[in-house]
Amino acid sequence: MDGENVTMVTHFVLLGLTESRELQLALFALFSITYLLILAGNVLIMVTVAKDRRLHTPMYFFLGNLSFIDVCHASVTAPKMLADLLSTEKTISFRGCMAQLFFLHLCACAEIFLLTVMAYDRYVAICHPLQYATLMSLRACTWLMGGLWSGATVHSLVQTVLTVRLPYCGPNVIDSFFCDVPPVIKLACTDTYLTGVLIVSNSGMISLTCFLALLGSYLVILVSLRSRSAEGQRKALSTCASHLAVVALFFGPCIFIYTRPATSFSLDKVVSVFYTVVTPVLNPVIYTLRNREVKGAMRKLRERQVFS
């Protein structure tokens, strides 16, 4: 294509979730409450883990970091979505779109790696309890978190570079409520087959590989529990059940979206809402309702605040 005839796109138009004004207002009310619950629930977990010294263990260290990532992940898309639900013109600048895409993949990949690390933590705690203090020391946890964020940054940079290097000369309408790689590259005025394959290889393989590693670690844990006491089995299964619930809620949508070439399925929007908004609000519920230590720490924190 001759460069003189190309008009570069300076902004994108987001179609959003629905064109119905009544449904937009209803969704605004629903997602506003959901976003506030995400902030309140996850910040409460972070404060509780930081304040209670009994929770200064690797498992709760990772849980606090999961809450931080959930807040960041939801904040990448939710504020813009809420603003667009009240707006007649749902536009985003080209740079704003690329920034949203970068931070979306940064947070999503960080959460995928963190859930994998949390599974490894439970594997060591249950299968190698005598080595747990050494293998999951503060230094080891710090290195794991550093590697986690480094890997997520590299992944996000790859996704963003693959997307931004394409020429965009129109159309500029994104059939979604936020900027993500699959719907954006469909707008490029060039053949994106190779780019799509690279994106599926990058995002899809990370999601699928980590998911299989998670399933493998929990399978080993379940096999090792056969020789434990009934009480030990109950406690271990309770912890693992919470982790597995979060894994299923987060990995399912990610694998659905990123392990196949870009399409125009309307179901993609529903799935995207699920892993960007629904999962972050469910994580605190899953972990706190099934965890006596966290509930007890929250109760004591509340009592201290009341009496102070």
What is the pLDDT tens value at each position of the chain, 308 positions in all? 444 445 588 899 998 888 888 999 999 999 999 999 999 999 989 998 888 888 888 989 999 999 999 999 999 999 999 999 998 889 999 999 999 999 999 999 999 999 899 889 988 988 888 899 999 999 999 999 999 999 999 999 999 998 999 999 878 998 888 998 888 988 998 888 888 788 777 777 888 888 888 888 888 888 877 777 776 677 667 767 777 777 777 777 777 776 665 555 566 777 788 778 888 888 888 777 667 778 788 788 777 765 55
Alpha helices in the chain (DSSP H): 21-51, 58-85, 94-127, 132-135, 138-164, 181-185, 193-199, 205-224, 230-258, 267-273, 279-289, 292-307
Q: Which residues contact 133 (CB under 8 A, 6 or more apart)?
A: none
Give the separation between CA 201 and CA 77, rounded to whole angstroms: 24
For residue 5, the model assigns a pLDDT of 47
**Do the bridges between strand 173-174 and strand 11-14 make them parallel or antiparallel, or are there none, so unpaired?**
parallel
Q: Taking a C-beta distance cutoff of 8 angstroms, is the pair 71, 38 a contact?
A: yes
**pLDDT at res. 234:** 73
Q: 8-307 has which CATH code?
A: 1.20.1070.10
Task: Compute the distance between CA of residue 287 and CA of residue 126 in angstroms, rounded to an integer.
Answer: 18
- Other CB atoms within 10 A of residue 191 CB: 9
Q: Please tell me the distance from the alpha carbon of residue 191 to that of residue 75, in angstroms, as a whole number.
A: 33
> Which of 84, 71, 87 minimizes the C-alpha distance to 35?
71
Q: Give dist(CA 119, CA 116) in Å, integer.
A: 5
**Which pTM was predicted?**
0.87
pLDDT at 302: 77
Residues 6+ apart with CB under 8 A from 130: none
> What CA–CA distance (Å, rounded) separates 127 from 198?
37
Q: What's the pLDDT score for residue 32? A: 95
Backbone angle region of 137, left / alpha / beta, with phi > 0 → left and psi within -120 to 50 → alpha: beta
- Find the angle CA(162)-CA(274)-CA(119) to the nearest 5 degrees: 80
